[in-house]
Structure 1
């Protein structure tokens, strides 16, 4: 469902009304990163369920590629959501700078910087990855590096940034709405509602990303704390009972964006409907020509 939704999201962002906007750049890159991570997860779950030989255990190259890509996306995806939230923050709170800061080229530059940072954090993990007795393994130092990077750079810091920016956005929207209600004529209220309706779905995407990322982050922090404090087996068993729920909630972050947008905005529903109708029409024309 997540991969299908991401593909439809990419199709929707290619619409002429949206592809020139800055936030479409973040959503297109999120389509690529999220779909790759979900595909890797599907592969791993298939291997585990049917007791198949792991693809990563065939050789060291596949081992590094699969785990490296997964680690890269774990860092990349949350920070792309931070970039999207920052873009919305500038558009909402500083509308006069929107034409200067919230452009497609600026968004591409931000995405490239995030990608470079994620690759830099992934390199040490790839260098130390080895194939030991048919399993991918790393040194103990890299394990601590993985835990620190996973908690700080792919969970705590991006979640904190998303939370703060969304709070500021919601406060500004609320104040602006109250200001318009007090000083503007009733005839202009429709335009303000239109502005809020175009901003709210993207803010909702960011808020739900925070909601789905945070529980897994707190669970991993608790797990690390239990290991360091050498807690008893009962505490670890209690945490492991809820771990499957935390993982499922975490994976929702990588497949929910399309469904949030179409559920919260009639504008996006109309765009995807027109895109799919246009695609079907072109396919029928090609079939008729070939016949």
Structure 2
């Protein structure tokens, strides 16, 4: 789930034991109402007010909390370095002239841009906040609004590009005769533009519902990026669930369904090829299917990685609502904070490792990486590929023309 939304990080100076004891005995609804009246909204503030304990005391008393702080300090820079360079290289390779005519590359190039924005706007801001206590959103009202809106747009667009690629691969595998019509560069560009516009319209309300508010922190009035007056319920209660639906739950369901359908179709097609009686047709179909299968495997790897890295976040969202409803203590919250931190880092990992997934599972992508870094055209691999196609055609002269036509059609939709 996007971490671009408003949140408070400072802690008020509260130490009156009798007041704390009284707060602990309130119901959860009464606590929320009291804290809303006091202008306190963040999880850290609530913990401090309820339990009267500083973060260093939490870290010393609960090892889970200490691990949570260590992870937030040392893991983000690794993800930022790997993700930023990986996404830049992915974009450069995807925009190579040999690839720009393929719709899949257009989607993946846009994905690398969206992932980079997620890392810079979300993870880097969070990491710098842990190190310095400095949040760029609190420096100007327009920065507050722009950071929130861009954060939501980039994270949502990234996820739904994966959905779009999965649906495109489903069409290619299950309805190949319709692939030329639906899976082309022009439609891919329109789809990406449409996603950006849709998520801009969905999140544009933050122009009015979020902004800088003067907050009393340790007897000082400091500007903080938060929900504007009259919109606290929408921003703090309703919108996290809307964001969870858009970013996690709905894409998770769609990608799971289409992946299952793709795998079933590929398995069925493999069984069908084995039953072909004509050896020439079998060779022709095998030659046509090799590259298509490689691309399918690569894209399945990308989408399954998304499912695995966002599943913990889905679970933690539900668990968070359960804990808030039924109450909690410091020990439970320290454990949950660690789980939530791991879930968030896994979510950011999804935006950081696509380059390595492409290299591991995409042969044509690896060839382009070798060409880009080593200055080699990898002619050996290319000759091997073409010789395989020539063998298929030469072995069955009467089907060679049909194969060439099919090959041209296939190349429009595969890497």
Deviations along 1:40-75, whole A, 9 cap, x unmatched?
A: 2223312321x2532211111111111221122222
Whether 1:171 and 2:264 are equivalent positions in the alignment is: yes
Give 1:42's match in structure 2, choosing from 120, 124, 137.
124
Corresponding position of 1:180: 273
Give 1:86's match in structure 2, choosing from 156, 167, 173.
167
**8 Å CA contact 2:301, 2:357 repeated in 1:** yes
**8 Å CA contact 1:63, 1:136 repeated in 2:** yes
Displacement of 1:104 after TM fit? Answer: 0.6
Corresponding position of 1:135: 224
**8 Å CA contact 2:149, 2:200 repeated in 1:** no
Corresponding position of 2:204: 123
Deviations along 1:87-132, whole A, 9 cap, x unmatched?
A: 1111111111111110011111111221122112211233211212
The whole-number CA distance in structure 1 between the counterparts of 2:375 and 2:118 is 30
The whole-number CA distance in structure 1 between the counterparts of 2:234 and 2:125 is 28
For residues 104-253 of structure 1, the aligned pairs below 5 Å read 104-132=185-213, 133-138=222-227, 139-183=232-276, 185=279, 187-188=283-284, 189-227=286-324, 229-233=325-329, 234-253=331-350
The whole-number CA distance in structure 2 between the counterparts of 1:131 and 1:109 is 35
The whole-number CA distance in structure 2 between the counterparts of 1:90 and 1:29 is 20
Equivalences, count = 277
* Structure 2: gaps spanning 5 or more residues: 1-81, 214-221, 377-415
Give 1:270's match in structure 2, choosing from 364, 367, 370.
367
Deviations along 1:25-51, whole A, 9 cap, x unmatched?
A: 2111111111011112223312321x2
**8 Å CA contact 1:25, 1:107 repeated in 2:** yes
- Range moving further from structure 2, 32-41 or 162-171: 32-41
Displacement of 1:160 after TM fit? Answer: 0.6
**8 Å CA contact 1:11, 1:272 repeated in 2:** no
Corresponding position of 2:52: none
**8 Å CA contact 2:103, 2:188 repeated in 1:** yes
Give 1:260's match in structure 2, choosing from 338, 357, 364.
357
The whole-number CA distance in structure 2 between the counterparts of 1:23 and 1:267 is 13
Whether 1:97 and 2:178 are equivalent positions in the alignment is: yes
Structure with more helix by fraction? 1
Q: Over aligned residue pairs, what C-alpha RMSD do you find?
A: 1.9
Corresponding position of 1:289: none
Displacement of 1:190 after TM fit? Answer: 4.6
Displacement of 1:231 after TM fit? Answer: 2.7
- Range moving further from structure 2, 75-84 or 159-168: 75-84
Secondary structure at the aligned position of 1:134 is classed as strand
Larger Rg: 2
**8 Å CA contact 2:115, 2:155 repeated in 1:** no
Give 1:77's match in structure 2, choosing from 136, 158, 166.
158
The whole-number CA distance in structure 2 between the counterparts of 1:73 and 1:143 is 20
**8 Å CA contact 2:156, 2:199 repeated in 1:** yes
TM-score (norm 2): 0.63
The whole-number CA distance in structure 2 between the counterparts of 1:14 and 1:278 is 17
The whole-number CA distance in structure 1 between the counterparts of 2:178 and 2:322 is 44
